[in-house]
Amino acid sequence: MAVREILKYPDPRLRVKAKRVREVDASVQRLVDDLVDTMRAANGVGLAATQVGVPLRVAVVEPRDGQVIVLINPEIVKTSGQRRVEEACLSIPGYWGELTRSEAVVVRALDRNGREFRLKASGLLAQALEHEIDHLNGILYIDRLDRPEDLHQVEAEPEEAAT
Ligand code: ZN
């Protein structure tokens, strides 16, 4: 297991449409474990393989109050409702945006052992799932802003501003 480097916008590898995983083997499981380590080291709630330069359809999500969800070849099979959300991305540090996401989603994917599962999610978890699956299609949240003014710069923390 290892913490990998997270690519930052505008790295062109963030725009790659990732390929489906053909077989969930040991190398894919190692990638999953690295994604979890890297996500936690960055204090994130989700991370996609494209963010560490691996063009495979693999992502992890870890809601604050939940356990890690491993997503291999995830597909959104259903969405419902819409809500305005605030969103940020580990690949676009220093910014956050306001955009519209689904209220609820149903996702189908394979788990770390290659077993298919379905997940029904709403709220923050649905938002995280849409965000990570977007990454696997080379889409960033900044592509989903209605207008440029919906992108905001994070106010610098006093200690950060001092260094
Ligand atoms: Zn992201």
**Spacing, Cα 47 to ligand 1 middle (Å):** 7
80, 83, 88, 92: CA torsion to nearest 10? 70
What distance in Å separates the CA atoms of residue 116 and residue 137, rounded to the nearest whole number? 20
CB 88 within 8 A of CB 110: no
Q: Which residues are catalytic?
A: 132
- The answer on pLDDT for 161 being more than 60 is no
pLDDT the model gives residue 18: 98
Write down the residue that tokens 């955009």 correspond to: 99
Reported pTM: 0.94
**Concatenated DSSP letters for 131-146?**
HHHHHHTT--GGGG-S
**Spacing, Cα 88 to ligand 1 middle (Å):** 7
Write down the residue that tokens 């799932």 correspond to: 129
For CA atoms 32, 35, 39, 44, the dihedral sign is negative
**Spacing, Cα 27 to ligand 1 middle (Å):** 23
The per-residue pLDDT for range 28-66, each reduced to its tens digit, is: 999 999 999 999 999 999 999 999 999 999 999 998 878
What distance in Å separates the CA atoms of residue 114 and residue 106, rounded to the nearest whole number? 18
53: how many CB neighbours lie within 10 A of its CB?
Answer: 14
The per-residue pLDDT for range 82-96, each reduced to its tens digit, is: 999 999 999 999 999
In terms of Cβ atoms closer than 10 Å to its own Cβ (0-12, 13-18, 19+), residue 149 is exposed
pLDDT the model gives residue 64: 80
**Spacing, Cα 93 to ligand 1 middle (Å):** 10
The per-residue pLDDT for range 126-160, each reduced to its tens digit, is: 999 999 999 999 999 999 999 999 999 998 766 65
- 8: tokens are 């930052």
**Spacing, Cα 32 to ligand 1 middle (Å):** 16
pLDDT the model gives residue 65: 77
pLDDT the model gives residue 53: 98
